[in-house]
Amino acid sequence: MRWIDLLRMSSGNLKRRKLRTFLTILGVVIGTASIVVMISLGLGMQEQMYREVEQSGGMTNLTVTGKQEGGSMYVSFGGSSDQEEANKYITDDVIKELKQLAHVKQADPILDVSAIALKGKYMGYIQLRGMSQEALKAQKIQLAAGGRLPDPKSANMELVFGNGVLTSFSEKSTGKGYWETGQLPDIDLSKDQMFLILDQDGYYQSQNKSMGMGGSEGGSEAGGTQTSNKPPKKYVVKASGVVEGDIDSYNANFYYVYCDLDKLKDLLKKEFRGRVIPGQPSTKSGKPYKDFVYTSANVQAEDMDDVDALSTTIRNMGFQVTTNAEYMESMKKQFAMIQAVLGGIGAVSLFVAAIGIANTMMMSIYERTKEIGVIKVLGCGLKNIKQMFLLEAAFIGFIGGVVGNLLSFLLSFVINILTKNSGTMGVEGNISYIPPWLVLASMAFAVFVGMAAGYFPALRAMRLSPLAAIHNE
């Protein structure tokens, strides 16, 4: 019997019992859609992780942290908690030493400073991150239209605001911000100028004095940082760019305010002249430390294969090192478990559908016993009979797989729309992601399940006695 005849007979048999065929296919549709949507959620989280890693320098990036003032530990994602505490500060000499290491492509210092931003009736606590022009370019920060990186030659300090910085502002009078009121402050980060205050303690003391609350003059704060008798200077700053996205689009740059490193250092030295800069170490006598100390350093390896050896070398120098490669490795294991669980939940539906296919094929054999006997008497081979029933089962799996994938795309679209409209934090892009390989794999799996479910009914059809089948009423 030719394949075209087998296809014609198989499709004709399915059309003969339309309602039963429809209900059987419906089971496959639900099972396929369940598996695809469940796995797509895990893949969506994995894509989010890849974006975060890319925004943090890629797989060749190493974050080096040194000894921190006051014993505080700088935490970078993907960090290992079992590392020994760093015993050396990161200074300009250390940066030079890192650049001279074998397989190092680039090494740049990072300086994180807490500051206060003032705009009209609003006040915001912001995290300034000073970086060199080369390091900022290496970050590959996606800026909104019209934005650019800070110009170090600008008269006033230029800033790149993270797309979530607005949530850090609140009204001075009430202290309420976005998280309390649900309303963003009336500030246009891309256009409005604002005042930047680096000496937070001095600002609070001046505020207390203006309200008649007094306060010690010429005192010192915890950690040996002396306060000034005069109110802190307010530096006029403006934005050179804003990170692309709104407050519902979380990314690695969400809360940071980037600026030129040298410009930030100059302002800090000017503001705290003769005093210890907050976050900087001091001598035993309370004097400023001889070298400027950075919060961390970004090191780029020449190749991904050099990351492990380079990480070990830097740790032996007395620093802590975290790498995106370590983070990726640990997260991949977690996502593999998540996808296995989600896929398993969806597979239960497809298993139930397989039982439905087996039941349909068995019923078809009982209804077509005489037809099978006639086909055998006419000389049709046992192999052809087996192929005919397997084709019917494969048709059910194929049609169910196609419709199931169309349904999964619709469900994925709805899920992504709902998560965006509900303002789900921590999600950038789509939470459900269906790659082409998942569509093909689910289709193949649906056809396989259909044929597997129809295998034993096909064997039963082969074993029917022709004479008994013809005489069957």
Cα dihedral across residues 297, 298, 302, 304: positive or negative: positive
* Per-residue tokens: 419: 């998560």
Regarding whether 236 and 129 lie in a shared domain, the answer is yes
pTM of the shown model: 0.65
pLDDT band (50, 70, 90) for residue 396: confident
| Tens-digit pLDDT profile for residues 245-266 | 888 777 788 899 999 999 999 9
Predicted local confidence at residue 220, as pLDDT: 45
* pLDDT (tens digit per residue) in 158-181: 999 999 999 999 999 898 999 899
360 and 408: one domain?
yes
Beta-bridge mates of residue 181: none
Domain that holds residue 435: 3-52+331-470
CB 232 within 8 A of CB 202: yes
Q: Are residues 278 and 136 in the same domain?
A: yes
Residue 377 pLDDT exceeds 60: no
- Inter-residue contact 33 to 408 (CB < 8 Å): yes
User: Is the model's pLDDT at 27 over the cut of 70?
Assistant: yes
Whether residues 95 and 152 share a domain: the answer is yes
pLDDT recorded at residue 428: 55
Q: Quick check: is 207 in a domain?
A: yes
Handedness of CA 173, 177, 179, 181 (dihedral sign): positive
CB 282 within 8 A of CB 276: yes
Q: Determine the pLDDT at residue 8.
A: 66
- Rounded percentage of the chain residues whose pLDDT exceeds 70: 77
* Statement to judge: residues 164 and 229 lie in one domain: yes
Say if residue 121's pLDDT is above 90: yes
Residue 365 has pLDDT above 70, yes or no: no
The pLDDT tens digits of the residues spanning 271-291 come to 998 888 988 888 888 888 888
Residue 212 in any domain: the answer is yes
pLDDT at residue 410 greater than cutoff 90 = yes
User: Measured at the alpha carbon of residue 12, what is the angle toward residues 10 and 14, in degrees to the nearest 5?
Assistant: 75
Residue with structure tokens 């010192």?
220
Is the separation of the CB atoms in 401 and 442 below 8 Å? yes
| Mean pLDDT, rounded, of the chain | 80
- Whether residues 290 and 337 share a domain: the answer is no
Query: Do both 22 and 155 map to the same domain?
Result: no
116 pLDDT higher than 90: yes
Per mean pLDDT, which of 18-22, 24-28, 185-189, 366-370 is the most reliable? 185-189
Q: How far apart are CA 320 and CA 295, in angstroms?
A: 12
Site of tokens 């339309």: 18
Residue 154 domain-assigned?
yes
Q: Are residues 139 and 257 in the same domain?
A: yes
Last residue of one domain, picked from the residues 277, 294, 311: 294
Instruction: Say whether both 287 and 345 belong to one domain.
Output: no
Identify the pLDDT of residue 12.
Answer: 66
Q: Could you give the CA distance from residue 303 to residue 299 in angstroms, rounded to a whole number?
A: 12
Verify that 352 and 244 share a domain, yes or no.
no
Model confidence at 219, pLDDT cuts 50, 70, 90, reads very low
Q: State how beta strands 104-119 and 320-323 pair.
A: unpaired
146 and 249 part of one domain: yes
Of 7, 252, 272, 28, nearest to 140 by C-alpha is 252
What is each CA distance from 101 to 107, 135, 283, 368, in whole angstroms?
Answer: 10, 18, 30, 78
Q: Is residue 57 part of a domain?
A: no
Is residue 80's pLDDT more than 50?
no
Q: Which of 249, 279, 294 is the last residue of a domain?
A: 294
Residue 322 lies in a domain: no
76 band by pLDDT with thresholds 50, 70 and 90: very low
Q: What is the pLDDT of residue 147?
A: 92
Q: What is the mean pLDDT of residues 217-240?
A: 67
Number of domains in the chain: 2
Query: Does 314 reside within a domain?
Result: no
Residue at 307 is within a domain: no
Would 63 be classed as within a structural domain?
no
pLDDT at 217 over 60: no
Q: What digits encode the pLDDT tens for the residues 126-139? A: 999 999 998 898 88
pLDDT in tens, 424-459: 444 556 788 888 998 999 889 888 888 888 777 767
Residue 40: its pLDDT value, please? 87
73: pLDDT strictly greater than 50? no
Q: Do residues 40 and 136 both lie within one domain?
A: no
368 pLDDT more than 80: no
* pLDDT (0 to 100) of residue 216: 46
**Domain-terminating residue out of 276, 294, 312:** 294
